[in-house]
Amino acid sequence: MDGFLVDAPPLPPPVWVEQFWGDLTFLHWPVDPATVAHLYPPGTTPDVFVDGLTYVALVPFIMHSSALAGRMPLPYFGTFAETNVRLYSVDAAGRHGVLFRSLETARLAVVGVTRLGMGVPYTWARLRVTRTGDRITYAGTRRWPERGLRTLAELTIGAPVDPTPLEVWLTARWGAHTRKAGRTWWIPNEHPTWPLQQAEVVELHDDLVPASGVAPVGPPLRALFSPGVRARFGRPVALS
């Protein structure tokens, strides 16, 4: 992990958007990097941990309090559920980020704006997040595209944990790579270190990871839950 930034570097101004990511769960599986390299945009490659593997994540959560630069609230876009499938990427500049394979959202307008504006593969879905005590359930059904893909994840939230080196590597990500208008882009972000709690999977049925074209090669890592962090996004930068 030499040169890996555990803490977020300063975000170059201007800040474009601020959001709070709450009630979030990380579910991870190991992946052979050779089987997913073709999914990465030019200028990026699978990010590989010291174990020789990369990873795929299923990440359901609730988006809160979105605001434009200057903290102008976005009421319609401000609070909604999301479920993301993401891979891990690195570019020639050494920026360790994520590469989204899909981002489920219940907000149809978000799908159009982000697909056209940033090339991010948002999809429209019916999503529900319910929590009773230490039990949380995420349920979703894809509406568009590939209508009918489903996810159900029920977990019991446990005590706070100290992340392992691998878990730090997976969660300390300060940007995303994407492809738009024939170019590869880096979208920087910053947020505090994730407060993490152990989570036990009670039930999991998922169509999204298989539909993303990613095939895990081993059992899942331990599930992790976080009450959330506030994140800020900067201006996208084209890879040279």
Mean pLDDT per 10-residue run, the chain (240 residues)? 85 87 98 98 98 98 75 64 97 97 80 58 94 98 96 98 98 96 94 97 98 98 97 90
- Distance (Å, rounded) from C-alpha 127 to C-alpha 116? 22
The pLDDT of residue 117 = 52
- Distance (Å, rounded) from C-alpha 68 to C-alpha 233? 10
The pLDDT of residue 201 = 98
Q: Nearest 5°: phi and psi at 134?
A: -95, 15
Burial 1-23 (b: 16+ CB within 10 A, else e): eeeeeeebeebeeebbbbbbbbb
The pLDDT of residue 1 = 64
The pLDDT of residue 121 = 87
Rounded to a whole number of angstroms, the CA Rg of the chain reads 17
Alpha-helical regions (H) of the chain? 75-78, 108-118, 165-171, 208-211
The pLDDT of residue 156 = 98
The pLDDT of residue 29 = 98
Catalogue all structural domains in the chain, each as residue range(s) with its CATH number: 15-238 (2.40.400.10)
- Distance (Å, rounded) from C-alpha 46 to C-alpha 98? 9
Give the pairing of strands 175-180 and 150-160. unpaired
Residue 179 CB coordination number (10 Å) = 18
